[in-house]
Amino acid sequence: MTKQTTDTQLPSPAKGLFLGDLRFESMVPFPRVSNSERETLSLVIESIDRFMADKEEDFRAYDVKGEQPTEYLEQLKELGLFSLIIPEEFSGLGLSNSGYSRVLQQTSRYDASTSLTIGAHSSIGLKALLLFGTVEQKARYLPRLATGELIAAFCLTEAGAGSDAASVRTHAVKNADGTWTLNGEKIWITNGGTAGFFTVFAKTETAGGKMTGFIVERGWEGVSTGPKEDKMGIRASCTTTVRFDNVRVPADCVLGEEGKGFKVAMAVLNNGRTGLGGGCVGAMKRIIELSVQQASQRKQFGKSISEFQLIKDKIALMTTLCFASESVVSVVGHLIDSGSEDFSTEAAMSKVFVSEALWTVADEALQIAGGNGFMREYPYERVVRDCRINRIFEGTNEILRLFVGLSGVKEPGENLADVARSVKGIFNDPIKGFGVLSDYASKKVGQYTSLGRPRATGISSCLQSESSALEQGAVRLAQAVEVALKRYRKGIIEQQLVTKRLADVATDLFVGMCVLSRVSAIVAERGENGSADEIRIAKVFSNFSRVRVSNSLRGLAKNADESGLALADSVVASGGYRWDTL
């Protein structure tokens, strides 16, 4: 059965797409930051601009050296940038998820390493304490985390446990007095060298499960950190190993329930995604400004290069991807802030879309700058180096695509089983059988007639063609899901290329919903004449996504997957590329 809506819990719009539904309820009207928070945000943004705007040379030097000086970290603390999401009762700023994301947007306009330092602290380092901590744990640590006296780090990854996070080998054994003895090593931990507070995930053999989250302090005997990693990008941020040798962890430092550490870790990562998203949006905004300046000033063939269609095309796409990213990050922030319990698919979609949008925007910006873009003297190469990590950490985009696709097909899969049962019922007893036809089965009938077609409700009438592309896209996705489920059944879990294509279609449709909702709100406020550029953005995005959606759907039906997979096996078996024209 299709899940029921309660007053407070609107059903997931992303998952709805896999059923052919357009669930605009949670995003129409387009969510806005509350008035009271807007005032606080304006002040924070102003102070960030005052502090960071003239530090370009410093940031360049930190990047070359690969570190943020202690004095700089102290200044970030004084600015309150470690207190952003900590509730006011614990001396924090108490920003919402959306507000926090907007702050990271601002710091990212200037320096990605700064955003990562404060982002790893808030988005992941202390998030488990906020989400799962006891009152006593919060009172003990949050005030010191708010001032930055304690910087936080999130310790999940190990040499043998990257994407497969459940396979951690760091382990904690419970002692007779209730304390734990922790041993193991974590790698690539952001803020590893500066943190005083570590959220650590370790294997535990408890009745409740196999992994538990712990609070660990740097000062405890047996805690040590390695040297800073020499990285491609975000070089000034501090990434180190963190080692635990027979560390005695007090009984009251368990985060959440014993044995439920995997759930805690995933909840943290899901909840933290708007921080990364905001950061990507900020970086895009800055680089678009730079590109526009460059394109206007650079003259070739007697004209500014901004006058050439091929450059205009890039600027339009960059602007559209940034607007779309900002829209989807706002919607996901709003879902989290409004207490939704089912936002992990939307959050994963936003991470994949936004990190790839930034990669495209940074690459195109560098291309617009030509040879200058390749020179260290200009900021483009650093932005390209800095932004590459977003597709890797906090869940690689491959893993998140699989997560999106598989969480999306879950409900249609259950419904198909439901349909199969209903149909069996019909054969057994036709009259009774019709009575038990599921919602889904009834809807399927509708999907092929105009009656049951999904509707983009609440979308401005001037976006008719874009709305209708979404409506058709949702139907085509649901049909493709059904075909895939019937063909592969449970085996879909092994069909990564199918899952990826379904996830990509759903992601573009979900982002499209966010864009149309936002543009509709702008049109409602300013009228069509006052929203000409936003309507253009909706059109450019709709076209961009229509092409991608069609390609993915076509790829589900007709592809060279079998040949490609066999070729990959052969290349792997022979140790690499083995052809030459000699």
Ligand X SMILES: Cc1cc2nc3c(=O)[nH]c(=O)nc-3n(C[C@H](O)[C@H](O)[C@H](O)COP(=O)(O)OP(=O)(O)OC[C@H]3O[C@@H](n4cnc5c(N)ncnc54)[C@H](O)[C@@H]3O)c2cc1C
List interacting residues with ligand X (CB under 6 A).
Answer: 120, 154-157, 162-163, 188-190, 231, 239, 389, 392-393, 396, 398-399, 496
Side chain identity, residue 450? S
Residue labelled with tokens 């291309």: 367
Q: In this structure, what DSSP letter does residue 68 have?
A: -
CA distance 488 to 498: 10
Q: Of 119, 79, 453, 165, nearest to 274 (Cα)? A: 119
CA distance 488 to 497: 12
With respect to ligand X, which residue has the nearer C-beta, 55 or 231? 231
CA distance 476 to 457: 18
Reply yes or no on whether 394 is catalytic. yes
SS3 call for 54: coil
- Structure tokens, 571: 């290349």
With respect to ligand X, which residue has the nearer C-beta, 7 or 230? 230
Residue 123's CB: how many other CB atoms inside 10 A? 31
Side chain identity, residue 548? R
With respect to ligand X, which residue has the nearer C-beta, 224 or 396? 396
CA distance 65 to 72: 14
With respect to ligand X, which residue has the nearer C-beta, 210 or 231? 231
CA distances from 434 to 419, 420, 428, 431, 437 (A): 11, 13, 11, 5, 5
Q: Catalytic: which of 158, 326, 394, 482?
A: 394
CA distance 331 to 336: 9
- Structure tokens, 75: 């200044």
29 preceded by cis ω (within 30°)?
Answer: yes
With respect to ligand X, which residue has the nearer C-beta, 403 or 541? 403
- β-strand partners of 240: 189
Residue 334's CB: how many other CB atoms inside 10 A? 21
CA distance 239 to 243: 13
Q: Of 378, 328, 333, 382, nearest to 356 (Cα)? A: 328
With respect to ligand X, which residue has the nearer C-beta, 190 or 270? 190
- Helix residue spans in 429-531 (DSSP H): 430-435, 439-447, 464-488, 496-526
- Structure tokens, 214: 């712990």
Q: Of 538, 545, 575, 562, nearest to 459 (Cα)? A: 538
With respect to ligand X, which residue has the nearer C-beta, 393 or 541? 393
Find the shortest distance in angstroms from Cβ 237 to ligand X: 7
Instruction: Tell me the catalytic residues.
Output: 394
